[in-house]
Amino acid sequence: MADRSIACLIDQYLDEEYDITTTKLGALYSAWSLPNLVTPFIAGVAIDRFGGPAVIVIGELLMVSGATLFAEGSSFMVFYISRMLLGIGYESTHLAARKLVVSINGSIPQCLDA
């Protein structure tokens, strides 16, 4: 799966401006994926408790916060935290949106089933 984030577009800039090595760049890509190990369980409970639309809003806020933090960041740790926020927000929004589609449609349309 392709990384759908801002970091993949600015690899060279990060290396030149902030001395981000390929190892650190790999860690930034991992920061996007690591939250996906636990986020589905937490987001699932939140969706059942608060509803899909509320979790979508929270997920979108996390993604906007992560993207803003990444854009304004000036250190590797800030970049790493921002990527984690993006990953948590994306996974939460993705799960809540699928739940919302099922509640409206009765099932996931085949074109969205991945």
Tell me, what DSSP letter sits at residue 59?
Answer: H
pLDDT digits (tens, 9 = 90+) for 29-71: 889 888 889 999 999 999 999 999 999 999 999 999 999 998 8
**Number of domains comprising the chain:** 1
Q: Which domain holds residue 62?
A: 32-100
Is 22 within the bounds of a domain?
Answer: no
For the beta carbon of residue 56, count every other beta carbon within 10 angstroms: 20
Higher pLDDT, 72 or 112: 72
**Does 83 reside within a domain?**
yes
Give the dihedral sign, CA 17/18/23/29: negative
Among 100, 72, 67, 98, CA closest to 84 = 67
Examine residue 42 and state whether it is found in any structural domain, yes or no. yes
Coil, helix or strand at residue 5:
coil
Q: Evaluate if residue 3 carries a pLDDT over 70.
A: no
Which pTM value belongs to this model?
0.79
Amino acid identity at 98: R
| Domain assignment present for 24 | no
Q: Compute the distance between CA of residue 111 and CA of residue 20 in angstroms, rounded to an integer.
A: 38
Residue 20 lies in a domain: no
Does 3 map to a domain? no
